[in-house]
Amino acid sequence: MTCRVALAVALLFLSLSAIAQNDTKSKADSTTGGDKAKFALEYAEQATKAADTAFKQGKDDEATARLKDIAQYAKISSDAAMESGKREKETEINLRKIVNRLVDIKNARPYDQQDSVQQVIDAVDTSRNNLLEEMFKRKH
């Protein structure tokens, strides 16, 4: 009986997590400016956690889909921060944290399966570097 309750709670938690991800994603798609940067970054962070979990559970197709979302929404957050001039510092810091987590995910994968994660690391790092360049270009 306790096992069934624990399973039900776990399934409820997973469904609530999926709803929260979709809500954040829709906010990222529908807002502008600093809010767009904030919600796109939150979704990229959620997708990073979801990809890590999916890889650990052996769900490579799901993890690959999340990797694409990470790269896409990292770029969206970076672009929105640059365009609005808001949340630049927070966005840069959190993109760096995403890169660090992706490096951990990559290192946990077998060598022959690391390329897809490395491509996302490169994409997120490019978005972060573009943001940094824009921040310092305006300051000088």
What pLDDT band is residue 62 in, cutting at 50, 70 and 90?
very high
Domain chopping of the chain, boundaries: 25-139
Q: What is the pTM of this model?
A: 0.82
Quick: pLDDT tens for 17-44.
555 556 888 888 888 888 999 999 999 9
CA angle, residues 17, 19, 23, in degrees to nearest 5: 115
CA-to-CA distance for 70 and 96, rounded, in angstroms? 13
Quick: pLDDT tens for 95-132.
999 999 999 999 999 999 899 999 999 999 999 999 99
Question: Long-range contacts for 92-97 (Cβ within 8 Å, ≥24 apart)?
Answer: 92/128, 92/131, 92/132, 92/135, 94/41, 94/45, 95/41, 95/44, 95/124, 95/125, 95/127, 95/128, 95/131, 96/128, 97/45
Report pLDDT for 72: 97
Q: How far is CA 29 from the centre of its chain?
A: 14
Report pLDDT for 27: 80
